[in-house]
Structure 1
Amino acid sequence: MTPAVEFRGVSVHFGATQALSPLDLSVAKGETLALLGPSGSGKSTALKALAGFVRPSAGRVLLDGEDVTDLPPHRRGLGVVVQSYALFPHLRVDGNVAFGLKARGLPRAEVAKRVAEVLELVGMGAFARRFPRELSGGQQQRVALARALAIKPGVLLLDEPLSALDAALREEMIAELLRLRAELPDTTMIHVTHDQAEALALADRIGVLRDSRLVELGPCEQLYRRPASEFTASFLGGANLVPVELVRFDGARAAVVRLGGRELSAEPTGVLGEGQSVALGVRPHRVGVGAPGPDAWPALVRGVQWRGSGYRLDLHLPAADCELRAEVPDGPGLPAVGDSVGVSIPDGCPLLGVGG
């Protein structure tokens, strides 16, 4: 089946600065792909190249198998939602949503019908005659979504659409986008974000970018549970990277490592070169913290942060000479800064190559 979106060796330079290294990527019809990475990683540049707002320095962009690299944005038929909403302040809600339809020369009755449909779709039917200044941030973002969806795009581009919202509104809009996904199963969505929770909640696959390059691509659960790179492990889910000694491989999917004189099993997830340094990717919620004892690695508490439902502990682990974050539930027996504790790390954590 022809992909809905294809990047074929697409790179972007701004003078001597490489904003996007050659990108090869396909997105299927009806798929939601999140491009995730820190600021300056190239994710928004990729979206702009797809939308036609930026001209690739090399490579081609295809939509449904058609090369659109040389087409202007308005001829690509894409829906675009940006962080700042970009609503026209002098137009009411219905006028904003109708803008793209009128630009296409649709009859007035058809425009009015489509505007009413998409406003109901995003739960804004009762606000058609209000101006953007009379709406909350979440309501304005719903209007921006309605405007993008009004033209019935095959591909919807979402560029940091929730980053300007507070935490409660962000959660509400994530639920809204999930509902829209269910109601628009044939619409391909590409969602650019630096927020890993958004990416995990909304996407079928995640592409992780760093320093203008796509470093890893795969289904959400695979990237979270079995990241192939140290960067993905730490950026997607905040895994601790605990240096260990590789003792041996037990088949292709298992290894034995040594930490502080004790052995435990691990799951290799990337290509490990001979003599390469390795580390366990240990999620903070999988770090056990208790009293010191012979079956635990000793650690020193360096920081305690209350996070509402529990605490984050910043620990120093002498066995690996590294810092370790742990998430523990609220309750009795919480250690204090300066206390010595015992740490447990479960078998089966991903084993990653580092520094190579």
Structure 2
Amino acid sequence: MTSTLTPVPATAVEAPAIGWDGVSVRYGDAHALRDLTLDVARGETVALLGPSGSGKSTALKAVAGFVRPTSGRVLLGGRDVTGEPPHRRGVGVVVQSYALFPHMKVEDNVAFGLRARRLPRAEVAARVTEMLAMVGMTAHRGKLPRELSGGQQQRIAIARALAIRPPVLLLDEPLSALDARLRQDMLDELRRLRGELPDTAIVYVTHDQTEALVLADRIAIMRDARLVDVGPADELYHRPPSAFTAEFLGGANLIPAEAVAGGARVGDRTVPAAHSAVASGPALLCVRPHALTVEVPGPDGLPGRVTAVQWRGSGYRLEVALDCGATVSADLPALTGVPAAGEPAAVRVGAACVVAREEP
């Protein structure tokens, strides 16, 4: 069941920068995207988040013009561009492989789109200088791509996409090829660039929830080629509308329960919840690993038994089989006393919410 789409702020005279209007993409009998309807406002960043095969990259390629919808329309600034080729859409695109021209110097890669538009030479030179300064790559303008690190190549790919000053920037898994440290550095860089592009609409495709939470104004959760949920990042995280979103965005534990006033009943214990999407009846108690505390058995916790303990440097990940039949994961600080595998324990629940038991 698809949730109601959160409306995007817009004025009566300003069309959304990007619009998918019932867009489907099919290859034979296989659907890569099913009936996607979603708008992105000017200056807004929307992350398309989901597992592999969920349709998020296909949705981006439909906007870029790399795939033709089987049905529906793609709109840019209110203009129907469904049948237009990529070069006429005026969007900037950055893909995970960077796609830099290996035989061109950095400055020529950045200038490529500008020269294709036949801009005056002086304007091209000025724009290249501006873009290289924006991404901190001025000192590398004379190098070839093979002389750069992965993070530096990614910066050049972004500079090339932004050089044409597109109203729309499409980023398809741009950090997936980088190691953990470079990924964090580039995430910080993208956050900074967002502040310098107040009028640019950005669509960011990722399977990494951290990237989506850090960068996006709104997150669109996708699954099996469909849009499942969409809303502000903090709202989806703290008040997920569906079990899939709760589990995928933040790795929440989902414990079968009975929704009651103010929370949920698990076995013979009542657990308070800050938000409930279910008034009463069968439901799932949604609680993230960091909001659980594992202690020696006592009257205030959900009884169970520790089945596994994994040290993670800064803390421990515990797996606990609850007496009610569910298994939960709990993250505990390293300085906390940790029960050993096989020992009985009680799980105390911190911040929690309640979602519908049915899968979306």
Deviations for 1:44-94, whole angstroms, at most 9, x for unmatched residues? 000000100000001111111111111100000000000000001000101
Which of 186, 190, 202 does residue 177 from structure 1 map onto?
A: 190
Structure 2-normalised TM-score? 0.93
Q: Which residue identity does 1:259 align to in structure 2?
A: V
Instruction: Report the alpha carbon displacement of residue 271 of structure 1 after superposing the two structures with TM.
Output: 6.0
Residues 224-239 of structure 1 mapped to structure 2, 5 A cutoff: 224-239=237-252
1:132: which partner in 2? 145
Amino acid at match of 2:58: T
Which of 16, 36, 42 matches 2:49?
36
* Residues 90-101 of structure 1: pairs in structure 2 closer than 5 A: 90-101=103-114
Match of 1:61 among 51, 67, 74: 74
Query: Equivalents in 1 of 2:227, 2:112: separation in Å?
Result: 35
Is 1:316 the counterpart of 2:316? The answer is no
1:12 aligns with 2:25: yes
Q: What is the number of equivalent residue pairs in this alignment?
A: 346
| Equivalent residue for 2:309, pick from 297, 304, 307 | 304
CA distance in 2, matches of 1:133, 1:256: 57
Larger displacement relative to structure 2 (1-10 or 138-147) = 1-10
- After superposition, where does 1:1-356 map in structure 2 within 5 Å? 1=11, 2-246=15-259, 248=260, 250=261, 255-267=262-274, 269-270=276-277, 277-319=282-324, 321-346=325-350, 349-355=352-358
Paired AA for residue 337 in structure 1? A
4+ long deviations beyond 4 Å: none
Contact in 2 for aligned 1:239/1:281 (Cα 8 Å)? yes
Residue 266 of structure 1: CA displacement?
2.9
Measure how far apart 1:208 and its partner are.
Answer: 0.2
Could you say what secondary structure the match of 2:156 adopts?
A: helix
TM-score by length of 1: 0.94
Over aligned residues, Cα RMSD in angstroms?
1.4
In structure 1, distance between residues paired with 2:187 and 2:264: 40
What are structure 2's unaligned runs of at least 5 residues? 1-10
User: Is the 1:138–1:169 contact (alpha carbons within 8 Å) kept by the matching residues of 2?
Assistant: yes
| 2:273 match: secondary structure | strand
> C-alpha displacement at 1:333, in angstroms?
2.1
Name the SS of the counterpart of 1:327 in structure 2: strand
1:268 Cα shift?
A: 5.1
Query: Letter of the aligned partner of 2:161 in structure 1?
Result: A
Separation in 1, partners of 2:328, 2:129: 53
2:136 aligned counterpart, secondary structure: coil
Q: Hey, what does 2:6 align to over in structure 1?
A: none
Distance 1:235 1:48, change over 3 A: same
- Give the SS at the match of 1:116: helix
C-alpha displacement at 1:269, in angstroms?
Answer: 4.5
1-structure distance, mates of 2:339, 2:264: 29
Identity %: 60
Supply the distance in 1 between the matched residues of 2:188 and 2:41 (Cα, whole angstroms).
23
